[in-house]
Structures are given as C-alpha cells and as structure tokens.
C-alpha cells in the first residue's frame, strides 16, 4: 500500500510539473544582445511636447522603444489615461521602470517588456515614441511603416528619419521633436 501511494504521489507531482515546464518554455526568451545606445533620460518638458504633438488620449496604446526608466509611458498613463508598453533590452532599466510605475500608481495601465525593439510586434501601438540614434531610427523605419496601422503616430526626440518628412516639428529648450503619421 505504501509503495502504491508513493507511486501515485510521484505520478501526481510529474503530472503537475509538466504543464509548468511547458509554460516556462513558451515564455519569450531574453534578448541575446546588449543595448545599442547608452541610456539618456528624456527631459519632462520634451515628454510633454512629444505626447501633445501625438495628441495622446485615453484610447491610445503608447509604445516607447528604448523605454529606459519608463518615464514616457508612465506620463502618458498619468496625464491621459493611455495604456503604455515600454520596450528595453536592459534588465536594470526594466526593473527601474516597473518600480517607477508602482510609485506612480499606473501598473494597471503600463507594462515593461525586456525585449529587442527590432523583434517586438508593434501592431497594437497607436503611438510610438523614440529617443534613439539616427542610424537606429532609419533601421526601424521600415518596421514602423509595415507594422503600424494607418493613422498611428510616431514621435522622435532629437533625431529625424532621413528623407521621411515629419508632419510637424517642435523645439523644446533647444531639443527637436518630430511627428510622423502612418499613411
């Protein structure tokens, strides 16, 4: 009887562990490369202008590619009630962003993903914000134009997209902000 009970317990443990193992295997893998740029925070006045140019509202889903400490999507959530997704390849920045979202009380509206922005599905985004180097903006441009829906807005701090002419440009304390709308 004891041997049967032990066999039953082992079978039960294995049966319960198998689905957990399968779930663990479906979790997205962490990025295999490091950041393309060093983290430089976007000043609050620039964030305010970026979100204003994009006319962010409660119905938007704001993706910040290279989100750092999460300040852009956190501000979009606090100010407009928009949902936000921050994408960053640095685990330290993701942890910092999650702590900042908790402190701001917006964890119900924002999430931060440890991911490579070039491998991230952008189809849900209605607004994409960027503070990347010009070469990265240019590399990202075809992905933005392919995956974003018509009417989605792209806003970049400091760097343009080459010959893709912005609909609007603003200057905030000597810093440029560019807006494009997907046609």
Task: Supply the mean pLDDT for the chain.
Answer: 86
164 pLDDT above the threshold of 50:
yes
The percentage of the chain sitting over the pLDDT mark of 90, rounded to a whole number, equals 78
User: Looking at the domain assignment, is residue 38 inside a domain?
Assistant: no
- Domain limits for position 171: 44-181
Q: Is the pTM of this model over 0.85?
A: no
Looking at the domain assignment, is residue 176 inside a domain? yes
Q: Does residue 57 lie within any of the structural domains?
A: yes
DSSP secondary-structure letter at 118? G
Asked, for residue 13, whether it belongs to a domain, the answer is no
Residue 8 confidence (pLDDT) above 80: no
At 15-53, the pLDDT tens digits run 434 444 333 333 445 556 566 667 889 999 999 999 999
* The pLDDT value given to residue 30: 57
Contacts of 16 (CB under 8 A, 6+ apart): none
What is the total count of domains within the chain?
A: 1
Per residue in 98-113, pLDDT (tens digit) is 999 999 999 999 999 9
Query: 70 lies in a domain?
Result: yes
Task: Please identify which residue in the block is written with the tokens 């009887």.
Answer: 1
CATH number of the CATH domain containing 134: 3.40.50.150
Determine, yes or no, domain membership for 98: yes
Which tokens in the block code for residue 110?
Answer: 């924002």
Q: Is residue 37 part of a domain?
A: no
Give 145's Cβ-side CA count (13 Å radius).
10
């Amino acid at each position: 009887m004891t041997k049967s009970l032990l066999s039953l317990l082992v079978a039960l443990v294995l049966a319960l562990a198998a689905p957990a193992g399968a779930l663990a295997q479906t979790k997205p893998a962490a990025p295999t490369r490091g950041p393309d740029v060093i983290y430089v925070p976007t000043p609050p006045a620039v964030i305010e202008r970026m979100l204003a140019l994009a006319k962010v509202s409660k119905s938007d889903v704001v993706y910040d590619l290279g989100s750092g400490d999460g300040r852009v999507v956190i501000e979009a959530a606090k100010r407009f009630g928009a949902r936000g997704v921050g994408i960053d390849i640095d685990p330290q920045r993701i942890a910092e962003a999650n702590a900042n979202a908790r402190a701001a009380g917006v964890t119900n509206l924002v999430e931060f993903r440890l991911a490579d922005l070039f491998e991230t599905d952008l189809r849900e985004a209605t607004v994409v914000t960027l503070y990347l180097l010009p070469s990265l903006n240019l590399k990202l441009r075809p992905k933005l134009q392919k995956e974003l829906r018509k009417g989605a807005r792209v806003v970049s701090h400091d760097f343009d997209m080459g010959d893709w002419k912005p609909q609007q440009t603003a200057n905030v304390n000597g810093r440029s902000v560019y807006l494009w709308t997907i046609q």
